[in-house]
A = this chain, B = another copy of it.
């Protein structure tokens, strides 16, 4: 067992400002009593992985050296972006938040032994690797007959979608707004909101995305590139009563437009004039940064509003382990329905370093989602 090795993908920001991607062969440690080793067979490239993986480097300017498992990809990082990366310069970082695979060895404890041969999902980091050691208690055992590919994305998107709905409940909102709503996550959120009877306004940026959601049966879809956007948005906000938005875009004026639309609905039904706007509380959480430019708030939406960052790990810490266990139980039960993910391509660790493939997954295009199978042959 101590002789086993695992190839894993590493991302390194060098002091000279270059990003270096490579594969590193590391020993697979023997699991302790309460641990198992998982042979990773499916691990997605989520938008939330790309920040760590690509470090905001210019992937259109990659150079490649070496070959096979010794391939090294280098790409330049703009000096402005480099400042925010100071904490990781010189540190070879493993990548990949989540994934699924088969338990191939287990520690002595009954809990660990019980997992031998089982297909499990884990959220452990360093998943872009052939093997990953983790606590037995952190494994989500998938229902019998579930393939690793089906369980690859059991944490980030399902818990984010559930987290959005739970946040609405905890903070007293009766409807939700989601931007970049045709994403894998957005489609999942539509299925979840339909199942739970929560009104959802989907904001998208193209006619194709409108169609994706229409085909899913989404009721409220507004296209922000249409001239009628502002009026369409207000009509959808009025129909749903949504006062909470989750925004994947971050930059630009969209968050502000959403707050203005919510205030237009709230003040239309206000009985008396107030220069401070309505007393209806309106909230936007920014959870992504598809537009890395500044967020611009016009503040034409009264005084009863908030905007803030939303991060899954902070949400999970806030609700506590019992709530998380309840949510995970639901994910496992509905992994092939509500929480199903779809992938446009499955690649090997080596293909993840291919400049054309890197360019493709770095685009974060709606409807395109990559899955890595680290146990596909690399030579």
Binding site for B on A (CB under 8 A): 51-52, 84, 87-88, 91, 93, 250-251, 256, 267, 270, 273-276, 279, 286-287, 289, 294-300, 302-311, 313-314
Contacts and interface: CB of A to CB of B under 8 A. Distances in A.
A229 to B, nearest CB: 18
A303 B314 contact: yes
Given A88-B275, A294-B299, A307-B308, 15 more contacts: A84-B300, A87-B270, A88-B273, A91-B273, A250-B299, A251-B299, A279-B314, A287-B303, A289-B299, A294-B296, A295-B296, A302-B309, A303-B309, A305-B309, A307-B307
Q: For the complex formed by this chain, how many copies does it contain in all?
A: 2
Contacts of A304: 309, 311, 314
Given A88-B273, A275-B52, A295 B299 contact: yes
A84 B310 CA distance: 30
Contacts of A51: 275
Sorted from nearest, which 3 A-B pairs have the closest CB atoms?
A306-B308, A303-B309, A87-B273
Contacts of A250: 299
A52 B273 CA distance: 10
Given A87-B267, A273-B91, A303 B295 contact: no
Contacts of A314: 279, 303-304
A305 B309 CA distance: 6
A282 to B, nearest CB: 9
Interface-centre pick from A299, A300, A302, A309 (highest chain B CB count, 10 A): A309
